[in-house]
Structure 1
Amino acid sequence: MTTLEDRPLATDPADLLATAREQVLERGVGLDEAQVLAVLNLGDEHLEDLLGLAHEVRMRWCGPEVEVEGIVSLKTGGCPEDCHFCSQSGQFTSPVRSVWLDIPALVEAAKATAATGATEFCIVAAVRGPDERLMTQMREGVAAIKEAVDIQVAASLGMLTQAQVDELAAMGVHRYNHNLETARSYFPNVVTTHTWEERWETLTMVREAGMEVCCGGIVGMGETLEQRAEFAAQLATLTPDEVPLNFLNPRPGTPFGDQEPLSAQDALRTIAAFRLAMPRTILRYAGGREITLGDLGTREGLLGGINAVIVGNYLTTLGRDPKEDLALLDELKMPIKALADTF
């Protein structure tokens, strides 16, 4: 990311887009926080040009391939944390209750994911951090998956100790997801049972252990545009290998259950802004795109900076039929990234 001293901030939309073209497309240098904020403030009349530029950036610095991933919950519900967007918290009246998935079911889910053409399978658990039972499930589950199917295994198990980081790396978990969720300044409005800094510490250990870092969050939780720009800048500083971009799907019984979903225009502007902030990062469609963008918006996002998708259902919400996503990728002539290319 550049600093504000590197160049004056362009305020005219045409000048801003021209600056972004030269800086990001030509030189591969992501927009800084103030520049991202200016992009987020662009009017709808500039959205088509903005998405076109973000797509050019994606094609130049990432290529046309799309990484496809499936996710499954190993341990669902009953989480002690109070993430205000999440129906898996045991503190809210939302209906998700604690359920564990056994190893045969986990392997079958991995096989089903691979059958869609996906190269990535992420095992998720609704916990603050893994206990010994969960680590045992991971040891047995990862070994069984690797024996049964040719797919990369990722994990998302909350906050980790150094010993747990080292063990996951030794198991062959190649990518670890731990979302920062939102800007540091807004985080206390989203979670009160742990801190943004605790999440950052886990991500630092993951990177140092040699695993890929997957870190994103949710937009549309009531944050300001300034905080959305702050979040993009903080992610860029972390330099994650992948950023899953979720849009709030308000869940009944959670503190954010009455929030209005983000508009399609704001969601697409956010996609483009994050691509311009992180030109070389895997930017993945994740939860909420179905209600925020619909079919047409999903297409526009793929032509506006997105280069990875989660197929099928999410942890507690329904996604698109994988066949629809794969057909759209074929129509757009965006090949699925081969498994060998994900190492």
Structure 2
Amino acid sequence: MTILDTARTKALERGEGLNEAEILDVLNVPDDQLTELLELAHQVRIKHCGVEVSLEGIISLKTGGCPEDCHFCSQSGLFESPVRAVTLDIDELVEAARQSAKMGASEFCIVAAVKGPTERLLDQVKDAIQAINAEVDISISASLGILTREQARRLREMGVSRYNHNFETARSFFPNVVTTHTWEERKNTLDFVRAEGMEVCCGGIIGLGETLEQRAEFAAQLAEVEPHEVPMNFLDPRPGTPFADRGLVPRGEALRAVAAFRLAMPTAQLRFAGGTELALGDDGTEQGLLGGANAIIGGNYLTTAGRPMEVDRELIDTLKAL
């Protein structure tokens, strides 16, 4: 059997994710089988997730000045990156949520560039959630770094339905990307999130310098935590960061990664995030949505431009008509 035969039997027919070795085979599928691979991944998505494509809005409550050294991130206060520290007020958050809902977004994520939330930040998030809920009908998620069990409980009580905390990359490659905290700390946070009844959102970035073997390891490790949502970012090299000179992920390689992640996690919400427009381009984004992905973060990606949410809305509506 070829890897496509195996994927058809396991992922499509039985709804089972591929194992690490099989994921690696998918990542190595030759060019002349890429179209068939993407079609298979799309079939898996339709069968096990449905036809809907989810749109999410995202905003940073606190931007810049982060004490961590994530080598890809321009929000780290340890690098000479042209990102200034900014904290938004409640009115700005409510308006951003309102505009997201207007564009048809079902979810709005509040993000902060921190290692973990302080008491002051948690109070700000609580006030923001109350203000948004009073005026906008939208599900609220959050991404505030590493949590204690008690902090996870409090966020759930505030009304956070889903919490994002990305692995970023494979466990074996993680020390090459971050040194100020560990992969295990991130995993612990996800365990607390699930234990307190929130949905788990966990993904990462393709193209940090990992090998294809490590990319397969990354997908398999994500599958083990059974995330509800998997953000797929592609490296957008940021000036002033240690990864500023890394190249972009080639389109074919990016599309193989999308298909591989879908076949590793047949039922997860696979969401395009930062760097998608660079790695895939506009037509490649459509290919990806017809090749396994079923969700988009619309508009800006915090510190990178992305595309106007209206463009993503138009693309989703076009695909609905196909």
* Alignment check: 8 A CA contact 1:40 1:269 kept: yes
Equivalent residue letter for 1:18: D
Aligned partner (choices 2, 8, 20) of residue 7 of structure 2: 20
The corresponding residue for 2:269 is 282
* Alignment check: 8 A CA contact 1:90 1:97 kept: no
The corresponding residue for 1:228 is 215
Q: How do 1:1-343 residues align onto structure 2 when only pairs under 5 Å count?
A: 15-333=2-320
Q: Which sits farther off after the overlay, 37-46 or 256-265?
A: 37-46
Tell me: CA distance 1:260–1:26, structure 2 relative to 1, closer, same or farther (3 Å).
Answer: same
**Aligned-pair RMSD on alpha carbons?**
1.0
The alignment-based identity, stated in percent, is: 64
Tell me: CA distance 1:37–1:334, structure 2 relative to 1, closer, same or farther (3 Å).
Answer: farther
Alpha-carbon displacement from aligned partner over 1:165-202 (angstroms, at most 9, x marks no partner): 11000001000000000000000000000000000000
Q: SS at 1:51's partner residue?
A: helix
The number of equivalent residue pairs is: 322
C-alpha distance in structure 2 between counterparts of 1:71 and 1:237, whole Å: 26
* Alignment check: 8 A CA contact 1:65 1:334 kept: no
Equivalent residue letter for 1:116: M
Equivalent residue letter for 1:170: E
Q: SS at 1:79's partner residue?
A: coil
Instruction: State the TM-score, normalizing by the size of structure 2.
Output: 0.99
C-alpha distance in structure 2 between counterparts of 1:216 and 1:234, whole Å: 10
Alpha-carbon displacement from aligned partner over 1:72-106 (angstroms, at most 9, x marks no partner): 00000000000000000000000112111011111
Runs of 4+ aligned residues of structure 1 deviating over 3 Å after TM superposition are none
Alpha-carbon displacement from aligned partner over 1:27-80 (angstroms, at most 9, x marks no partner): 111100000001101111111000000000000000100111000000000000
Shift of 1:334: 6.7
Shift of 1:114: 0.8
Q: Which sits farther off after the overlay, 316-325 or 199-208?
A: 316-325
C-alpha distance in structure 1 between counterparts of 2:6 and 2:85, whole Å: 50
C-alpha distance in structure 1 between counterparts of 2:189 and 2:44, whole Å: 30
C-alpha distance in structure 1 between counterparts of 2:185 and 2:245, whole Å: 28
C-alpha distance in structure 2 between counterparts of 1:97 and 1:83, whole Å: 17
C-alpha distance in structure 2 between counterparts of 1:139 and 1:192, whole Å: 31
* Alignment check: 8 A CA contact 1:33 1:229 kept: yes
C-alpha distance in structure 1 between counterparts of 2:202 and 2:267, whole Å: 14
C-alpha distance in structure 2 between counterparts of 1:283 and 1:63, whole Å: 12
Shift of 1:282: 0.2
